[in-house]
Amino acid sequence: MAYDETLATRIRAQIKDHPHVSEKKMFGGLAFLVSGNMAIAASAQGGIMVRVDPAQSDQLVSSTPAHVVEMRGRLMPGWLRVNTADAASDSELSTWIERGYTYAAALPPKPDRP
């Protein structure tokens, strides 16, 4: 399954003016990175994948429609999946973009890779 290009366009429109943002195809989706750290992605599994502080994962899962990403049978605290329907409005999507951007921007920048 390919990522939702409409969703990627919506993310791009909201994040484009944030500093140090780049795009990269990753895991079959389109990720938006801040200084090389993934903030949010239009996921190949549908919806969005958002990077947050792992210490906030449980609270966000219990208070929002997000759930922790599972990769190869392993839960990944700090990585949340949100269905497209739960980010349907610009306001809902903006909230997730800001969460992802804020966390990724607080991480040390990744060095450029060849």
CATH number (domain holding residue 58): 3.90.1150.30
- What's the rounded mean pLDDT across residues 90-112? 95
Confidence class for position 84, pLDDT limits 50, 70, 90: very high
112 in a domain, yes or no?
no
- Could you tell me which residue, 111 or 33, shows the higher pLDDT? 33
113 in a domain, yes or no?
no
**Range of the structural domain that residue 41 is part of:** 5-106
Confidence class for position 114, pLDDT limits 50, 70, 90: very low
Using DSSP's 3-state secondary structure scheme, residue 47 falls into coil
- What's the rounded mean pLDDT across residues 3-24? 96
CA pair distance 31, 23, nearest whole angstrom: 6
114 in a domain, yes or no?
no
47-72 pLDDT per residue, tens: 999 999 999 999 999 999 999 999 89
CA pair distance 72, 41, nearest whole angstrom: 19
**Domain count for the chain:** 1
Phi, psi of 45 (to 5 degrees): -90, 5
